[in-house]
Every structure is written in C-alpha cells, then in structure tokens.
C-alpha cells in the first residue's frame, strides 16, 4: 500500500486508490484504524492537505469514517445495507436521467427483476409483509390521495414484495430498479380509472402471495407490466400531441 509512483496524475487520487485497494483487498479489516493524517503524509511524502483530500474521497464512498480527538483518526467502515441502498438508488436515478433511458426499457427491467422475486416471496413472505402490502393497497384506494403519495405507496408496496423474498442481496439489487423508477413513474398521471386497475392488480398479487401461489403472482405481475407499459405509451402519445 505504501507504493506511490512519481506519476503526474493527481496525487490525492493516487493515494485514495492505494488505500481503497488495501481496504477492498481485505488487507485492512473493518474498524481498523488508518495511520494519522500526519503519518500518511510522511509515508507518501506529500503534504497533509493532499492526504486529507484523499481521505475525503474515501469518506464520500463510505469506506472510512473519521473521529476527532486523542483516540480519533480514520477507521475502515463497515458498509451497511442501508447506506448501500441509498447510494444505489441515487446512482440508478442519475443513470436513468442523465442517459435519457426510455420508459419502456426501465419498466421492462423493473418488472423482470420483480418477477424474479415473486416465487421466493410466495414461499417466504411473513404476515408482516402481507400486512404492509394490504396497508399500502388501502392507502392507494383513498380518493383524495395525491399523485406523489400514490407513487410513494406504489414503491412501498413493491418494496414489501421484494423484501418478502427474505434475501438481503436481492433486496439490495432491486432497490435501485424499483425506487429509481419513481421519477419516471411520476411522468404518468394516474387517472382514477388507472388507479383502480392498479389497486386491483396489487390486490391480486397480495392474494397470490398470501396463498403462496407463485404462478398466480407471476401472472398478476405480468399483467401489471403490460398495463404499466400501455400507460407509459399513452403518456408519451399525449406529450407528443401536446408538442405538435
């Protein structure tokens, strides 16, 4: 880790990379303390400012945490699921918006992934998951609900479906797909009729999971996919018509 070639490119980036590699390779363990900034500056033969910039890069990636004081310093941080979730969601959102991913592609990906969870969720969902889904369905049926709240509830419902699979790795991977879709979903104005249909499909999904009927859940999800895609097309057409 002490290596640092006399490369011309961004010393702070090089140092960050060296430390990051040490962490990723397992050379440094969780909660292990890094040398102090002054010591690192000595080791790498750079100024303390440069070391600090490197450490801030690592902090931005949640790889280290710092504490002031006598026993303070920089420590290798255990990456928690919650933080990873949050990062994954914002990155996915940015990726969708910056690269102008079309609704169809995102929607297809989202539902394909969700359908992968359905069989596992049918087998393992707990009463808690079912209760969450029922509660969200109830919320979605409220007449005065704003479009934004409906979207939130939609996400919460599908999140419960995914979590029902009781596989944290799966939940993590899907968080990006489901939650990042929300801004795109907001493009679609949910009319009263489309909400009714969606709530109906959600109910079918919840029923199927309660009955532990994977095939029925898959069928309902498939219908929801098709319906959501048709809503997207309609919204696109409306937007195109408006432009002309």
Residues that bind a copy of itself (CB under 8 A): 12-13, 16, 23-24, 26, 30, 49, 52-54, 56-61, 63, 78-81, 84, 87-88, 90-99, 101, 105-106, 108-110, 112-113, 115-117, 119-120, 165, 167-170, 172-174, 176-177
Instruction: Indicate the helix (H) or strand (E) that contains 17.
Output: helix 11-24
Residue 71 near DNA by CB under 7 A: yes
* Partner whose binding site includes residue 73, from DNA, a copy of itself, none (CB under 5 to 8 Å by kind): DNA
Dihedral over Cα of 23, 28, 30, 33: its sign? negative
Q: Are 20 and 64 in contact (CB under 8 A)?
A: no
* Other C-beta atoms lying within 10 Å of the C-beta of residue 2: 8
Least Å from the CB of residue 63 to DNA: 14
Least Å from the CB of residue 203 to a copy of itself: 23
Contact track, DNA, 23-62, x by CB under 7 A = -----------x-xxx------xxxxxx-xx-x-------
Residue 74 near DNA by CB under 7 A: yes
User: Which DSSP symbol is given to 25?
Assistant: T
Dihedral over Cα of 178, 116, 131, 201: its sign? positive
Least Å from the CB of residue 235 to DNA: 40
* Partner whose binding site includes residue 138, from DNA, a copy of itself, none (CB under 5 to 8 Å by kind): none
Tell me phi and psi for residue 64, to 5 degrees: -135, 160
Tell me phi and psi for residue 61, to 5 degrees: -95, 10
Nearer to a copy of itself among residue 80 and residue 191 (C-beta): 80
Least Å from the CB of residue 46 to DNA: 3
As a whole number of angstroms, the distance between CA 81 and CA 174 comes to 12
* Other C-beta atoms lying within 10 Å of the C-beta of residue 138: 11
As a whole number of angstroms, the distance between CA 222 and CA 47 comes to 59
Residue 132 near DNA by CB under 7 A: no
Residue 152 near DNA by CB under 7 A: no
The residue count for the chain: 244
- In the complex, the residues that contact DNA under the rule CB under 7 A are 8, 10-12, 34, 36-38, 45-50, 52-53, 55, 66-74
């Amino acid at each position: 880790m002490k290596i640092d070639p006399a490369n011309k490119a961004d010393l702070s980036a090089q140092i960050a990379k060296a430390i990051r590699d040490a962490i990723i390779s397992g050379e440094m363990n969780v909660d292990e303390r890094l040398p102090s900034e002054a010591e690192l500056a000595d080791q790498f033969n750079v100024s303390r400012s440069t070391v600090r910039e490197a450490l801030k890069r690592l902090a931005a990636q949640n790889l280290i945490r710092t504490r002031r004081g006598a026993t303070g310093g920089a420590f290798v941080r255990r990456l928690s699921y919650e933080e990873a979730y949050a990062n994954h969601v914002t990155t996915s959102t940015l990726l969708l918006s910056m690269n102008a991913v079309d609704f169809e592609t995102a929607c297809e990906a989202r539902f394909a992934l969700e359908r992968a969870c359905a069989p596992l969720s049918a087998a393992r969902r707990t009463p808690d998951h079912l209760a969450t889904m029922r509660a969200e369905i109830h919320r979605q049926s409220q007449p005065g609900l704003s479009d934004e709240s409906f979207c939130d509830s939609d996400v919460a419902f599908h999140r419960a479906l995914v979590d029902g699979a009781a596989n944290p790795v799966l939940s993590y991977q899907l968080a990006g797909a489901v939650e990042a879709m929300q801004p795109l979903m907001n493009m679609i104005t949910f009319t009263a009729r489309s909400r009714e249909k969606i709530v109906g499909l959600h109910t079918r999904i919840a029923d199927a999971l309660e009955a532990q009927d994977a095939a029925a859940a898959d069928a309902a999800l498939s219908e929801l996919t098709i319906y959501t895609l048709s809503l997207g097309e309609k919204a696109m057409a409306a937007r195109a018509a408006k432009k002309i």
